[in-house]
Each structure stands twice: as C-alpha cells, then as structure tokens.
Amino acid sequence: GLSSSIGAHTIAQACISANAAICAGAEKIMTNHADVVLAGGAETFSDVPIRLTRPIRQKLIGLPKAMKKGGPLGGMRHMLKKLKLKDLGLETPAIANYTTGEVMGVSSDKLSAKFGVSRQEQDEFTVRSHSMAQQAHTDGWYNQEIVPYKGSREENGIKGDSTIESVSKLKPAFVKPHGTHTAANSSFLTDGAAMSLLMSEEKAKELGMKPLAYLRDWSFRACDPWQELLLGPTYCTSELLQRNNMSLNDLGVLEIHEAFAGQILSNLVAMNSDEFAKKNLDGQKIGDIDMSRLNVKGGSLAVGHPFGATGSRLVTTASRRLQDEDQRFALVAACADGGLGHACLLERYDG
C-alpha cells in the first residue's frame, strides 16, 4: 500500500475525470511538486446512491428540533405536517445535464440528427466495437492490461456475436419513437477502475522502469451544451493538432471514447467537414479519420463506460498500442457531460 503521508485528492469532471487527473499529475511532475503520480479513477454504478425525496429530507433535518420540543408525538406531527402522498418515494440518480436537463442519450441523438448520422451507421459501428473487443480478448491482448477479478479477465459486456440484424431490432431508448439511439449503440454503465503511473523519464530510469509513452500535450475545451454537448473531441483535437503543427497523418494510433455510436460518428463527420471547420475551427479542417487506426481493440460500446475510469483506460490502451503497432504518435480524445471535451497527444517511448 501507499504511505499515509502521501497526499491525494479527487477530481470530478464527468467522463474525463481520469484524463484531468492524469494531466494534473503531469503538471505536478513538470513543476517539481511530485516525483511519481498515480492518476485514474473508479466507478460503482452497481451501488449508486438512492435518496429520499427532498420534502422527506427536509423533514428529517428538522426532526431533532421537533422532538426536542414535543417529544416523539411532536416529531410525528412534524413529519406528517403538509406531507403529500407523492413525497413518499425514492430518487434514483439521473444522468442528466444540469443546464439543459437532458440525459446524454437525448443530446447525442440530436447531435447525430444534426450531422446526418443514420441508425444503420450507428449499428454498424456498434457491431465493429464488439467484434474488435472480442478479438482482442481472444488474442490475449488485454491480458497485460486487466487485473484479474476472481481469477478471470473476462468482461461481461462484450457481445462478440452481435450482428447488424440483432442490434437493429432494438427500439429507440431516448428520443421516442423516431430516435436512432438504442441500448445497443449506447455505451452501458458498469463498475470499473483504472490507474495510470506517471513519472519523469529520469525518475523512471532511477527506478529501473521502462515507460510506454510520453505525454506530450493536452487540451481541455467546452462547447455549447444545448447543441454540441458531446462534440468536445473535435474542438480539442483541432486545438492539439494546430498547436503542435501536426495532421491526422502523423497519428498512427487513435483512441476516442465511444459514449454513443452516434456521438463518435458525429465527431468524425465534424472533423471532416469544410463547413464546420470554416465556422468553428478557423477554417482548419481536421480531416478524414482512418478507421484502421481507430479503436481497433474495441471501445466503450463494448467494454462499458465507468465514468471515473474510462480516461485512464484510453491512455493505457493507446500507450500499449503505440508499442505493439510500432507507431510514433497517438491521439486520445473523449467527450464529457457539460459540453466538456479532452484530447491528449502521446508519443511512443523508445529509451
């Protein structure tokens, strides 16, 4: 375990929380405020907090005072006074944006309609993700990346036998009855944890460790939560490439978070749109993504999306792919609730 003298803190930035933690850790190392940093995240969607309704909570807060004045009878009167039948219930957490009130599935469905991404295209991308994730596990590629649980590295969300025919049967889950997003082409919520180990090159040599990659640069941006909630990867990728005088041709590995098939495909359309670039990216179109470089070990649609862990998983997979595929640079990008986005640039370590 770690010494009790080692400080720690939590970063909350929705789906890119781990990315923010990794970059914050890198900044600490760069400014000599840390030698070694562990950055990542965990999520337990199987045990989410379920609250009493607000009226009941308010009653309970005032209960001690009421009982002090009137005893048990006074406490009972306090609890029942002005309480309505509809107040007797439980509140389950909703993954909805605080500004728009929309769940992300609705926002992604709207984004897909805006960029002309069809249900067929989304279902095809979904099957691709599951097939590639299954193949990666069959090949044993994830054996060095997944810590066994009860002796098994098997993931319970990958459906390697998915077909266009099977996923196309599902009904819309968010925008009904004519939406394009279903339970199949949306990432599922799952428990999960991931951690990334960061240090300077000098420290790694001192400890006798060989890194997988350099973290060269990163971007965090925000966009309109009403119309572009999940379009952050496009804005961040544009900023990153322009700042480093690079193009998509320089990127041999691409790992982009698959919150929804429609979300990632909408980003790909935006990246290759002259009109979008002219209006939003200073005329600098990102270009057409080479699908043979994108998420070739599967993505969040297949392995799930534990919010706090996904960012670290993406960085780990991209870093390992750089070594495995003998590529120089990798792009990691992800969207997040609130109209937030992230992208970072990794370079293969050869030292």
Q: What is the pLDDT tens value at each position of the chain, 351 positions in all?
A: 889 999 999 999 999 999 999 999 999 999 999 999 999 999 998 998 899 999 999 999 999 999 999 999 999 999 999 999 999 999 888 778 989 999 999 999 999 999 999 999 999 999 999 999 999 999 999 999 999 999 999 899 999 999 999 999 999 999 999 999 999 999 998 999 999 999 999 999 999 999 999 999 999 999 999 999 999 999 999 999 999 999 999 999 999 999 999 999 999 999 999 999 999 999 999 999 999 999 999 999 999 999 999 999 999 999 999 999 999 999 999 999 999 999 999 999 998
List alpha helices for 87-243, DSSP H: 104-114, 119-138, 164-167, 201-206, 232-243
How far apart are the C-alpha atoms of 261 and 317, rounded to whole Å?
Answer: 19
Distances, alpha carbon 87 to alpha carbons 49, 56, 73, 188, 337, in Å: 18, 7, 21, 30, 29
How far apart are the C-alpha atoms of 285 and 271, rounded to whole Å?
Answer: 6
Single pTM value for the model: 0.93
* Contact status, residue 197 vs residue 38, Cβ threshold 8 Å: yes
At 92 the pLDDT is: 84
* Contact status, residue 8 vs residue 21, Cβ threshold 8 Å: no
Helices and strands per DSSP (H, E), number in the chain: 11, 8
How far apart are the C-alpha atoms of 131 and 144, rounded to whole Å?
Answer: 20
Judge if the upstream peptide bond of residue 148 is cis by omega within 30 degrees of 0: no
**194 beta partners:** 41
Within 10 Å of residue 302's Cβ, how many Cβ atoms? 28
The amino acid at 92: T
* Contact status, residue 347 vs residue 231, Cβ threshold 8 Å: no
**∠ CA 293-182-229, rounded to 5°:** 65
The amino acid at 109: D
Q: Where in the sequence numbering do the catalytic residues fall?
A: 15, 335
